[in-house]
Chain A
Amino acid sequence: MDRDDMTGPIVQVRRRMRAGAEQIFDLWTKPELMVRWMSPFPGAVDCKASCDPRPGGAFSLVMSSEGSIREVSGVYVLVDRPRKLVFTWIGPLTNHVTTLVTVELNPLGDETDVVLTHERLPTQAMHEGHTRGWGIILDHLAEVVSHDV
């Protein structure tokens, strides 16, 4: 909560992985790979994914297991292969309110430092997004993103 005025509560998770940034970027943006790690259910899961990784393009994940279904969807805000990916995220965990996820991939030799930031958005931007369409919210997000760099 100590960040600049544009943002609300924020979660950051950092991990060093034994793989190149290109490969990790693929896991985030190729549906056939997304379904293999994105599901929160243990065991057999029917997971369907679709994505259109360019700014304004949408992604969606539908995961079902033994009668429970989880759906997550969002819109890409920034796609900078293989270094940075920013997308909105709406799902059960966010009370179906739009949130913003930023994935940064920093190569370190054979490994990659993965920094994931998940944040709530200023509500004003969300209201504008709802009433005036996605253009406004994407503009705003781009602003947050450039602020962040």
Chain B
Amino acid sequence: MIETEARTQVASHTARLNAVFAALADPTRRAIIERLSRGEARVTDVAEPFPMSLNAVSKHIRVLEESGMVERHRKGRDHILSINARSLDEVDGWIERTRLYWEERLDAMERLLGDLNQDKTLGPKDRRHGPR
């Protein structure tokens, strides 16, 4: 039971992360996120700087809402958008895991280079490691 639950969590996390990356792949949406990272704002204010219709910007905002990165609430007649900080933490998580993965691989590569080049100077008879 617990295992199934964990697997479901991983699957939904994966789906959410993919939605976040898909949302971030577009320059307009990145600009919207950048705007909102400076503080919450009305939909009309967010749309204002873009050379496209309010309708077109609204579509981008909808993608961001579906990805969970942006949240909307009402203040009187205004629709206010704000960033869901947790979704950005997930992006940071991917970046951190990927960085760690490659740092470790490059450490291993350096160790291998050390072994290979030591083998070269010692000659085949003095190899520290046999062939694998």
Residues of A within 8 A of B (CB): 1, 5, 8-9, 11, 13, 15, 17-19, 23-24, 27, 33, 36-40, 93, 95, 97, 114, 116, 118, 120-124
Contact = CB atoms under 8 A, between A and B. Distances in A.
Contacts of A40: 101, 104-105
Contact of B102 (A8, A11, A18, A123): A11
Contacts of A38: 105, 108
Interface residues of B, number: 32
B18 A97 contact: yes
Nearest to A11: B98
A36 B110 CA distance: 11
Contacts of A23: 113, 116
Contacts, number: 75
Contact of B99 (A1, A11, A39): A11
Interface of B: 14, 17-18, 21-22, 24-27, 30, 91, 94-95, 97-99, 101-106, 108-114, 116-117, 132
A100 B112 CA distance: 25
Contacts of B25: 8, 120-124
B21 A120 contact: yes
B110 A17 contact: yes
A123 to B, nearest CB: 4
- Give the most central of B109, B116, B132: most A CB within 10 Å: B109
A5 to B, nearest CB: 4
